[in-house]
Amino acid sequence: MTPEDLRFLLVGAGLFILGAIGFLTRRNLILMVLSAELMMHGVSMTLVTFGRIHQTQEGQIFTIFTLTVAACEAGLALALVLSLYRKSHSLDINLWSELREPDMPAPVQDAPARIDDGSGSYGDTPKLTPAGIAPKDPPRTKSSAGASSART
């Protein structure tokens, strides 16, 4: 194993860890799907690296397959997210907590986000709530600015 391989492995592990942290901490459905993708690609990275270390084809072949499946799975996941959104008008995962024990308290939830403000530009489609620092330049639409300020 060359130092180069070690770096590749570290990158894969880093991707996986980051994805896992994102998956465990985020409550936004789309971000969670993205985090899961990140974890998977960390694993793919590792697989390719192992193929390189052992000088075999399996790692790469496996990764090609994984990518194909991941594409399908991403489509499926986003479709599910969309239909969940249509039901609750929110991307908050905590709205879906019926599986808890009946006497457990309900988890903290966001209020359903009102995306459709009458402009008609977004319709009934989900969108990522802005996160991080708000951009300096003026917002493109009124609604995204409103959502950004409402975000806690």
Partner 1 sequence: MSEEIQQLVLWLIPVAPLASAVITALLGPKLLRYKSHLPCWSALAVSFVCSLILLLKILPSMGSAAVDPGEIGTFAGPQILVSGYEWLNVGDLHANIELRADSITAIMLSMVTGVSLLVAMFGSGYMSHDLGYPRFFAAVSMFVFSMCMLVLSGSFALLFVFWEAVGLCSYLLIGFWFQKPSAAAAAKKAFVVNRIGDFGLIMGIFLIWTNFGSLDFVTVLSDSARIAAVEVKNPGVIQLICFCLFLGAMGKSAQFPLQVWLPDAMEGPTPVSALIHAATMVTAGVYLVARCTPLFVMAPNAQLAVSAIGAATAAIAALTALTQMDLKRVLAYSTVSQLGFMFMALGCGAASAELVTPAVTAGMFHLFTHAFFKALLFLAAGSVMHAMGDVIDMRRFSGLKHALPITHWTFLVGAAALAGVPLLAGFWSKDDILAVLAEASRSKEHGLFFGVIWAVATGTAFLTAFYTFRAYFMTFCGPEKFPEEAGHHPHEATPIMAWPLRILAVCAALIGLAVGPTHLFANYLQKTMGLTPVPPESQHLHWGVMALSSVVAIAGIGLAWMFYVASPKVPGAIASAMKPLYLISQGKFFLDEILKALVVLPLVGIAKLATVFDRGVIDCIVDSIGAIPKALSSIPRQFHTGVVSSYAGFMWAGVVAAVVLVLTMF
**Residue 140 to residues 38, 41, 125, 147, 149, Cα–Cα distance (Å):** 29, 33, 18, 12, 14
Taking CB under 8 A as the criterion, the residue among 3, 24, 118, 136 binding partner 1 is 24
Among 3, 57, 99, 120, binds partner 1 (CB under 8 A): 99
Out of 7, 86, 100, 114, the only residue in the binding site for partner 1 (CB under 8 A) is 100
Chain centroid offset of residue 19 CA:
8
Apex 38 CA angle, 34 and 40, nearest 5: 115
3-state DSSP assignment of residue 28: strand
35 versus 143: smaller Cβ distance to partner 1 = 35
**Does position 101 bind partner 1 by CB under 8 A?**
yes
Q: Does 87 bind partner 1 (CB under 8 A)?
A: no
When binding is defined by CB under 8 A, the residue of 87, 98, 132, 137 that contacts partner 1 is 98
Cβ–Cβ contacts within 10 Å for residue 28, how many? 20
Whether the CB-CB separation of 51 and 57 falls below 8 Å is answered with yes
The single residue among 14, 107, 112, 135 that binds partner 1, judged by CB under 8 A, is 107
**Coil, helix or strand for 92?**
strand
Stretch that binds partner 1, among 43-51, 52-60, 104-112, 124-132 (CB under 8 A): 104-112
Report which residue type is found at 112: P
User: How many chain residues touch partner 1 (CB under 8 A)?
Assistant: 19
User: Which residues are at the interface with partner 1 (CB under 8 A)?
Assistant: 20, 23-27, 32, 93-94, 96-101, 103-104, 106-107
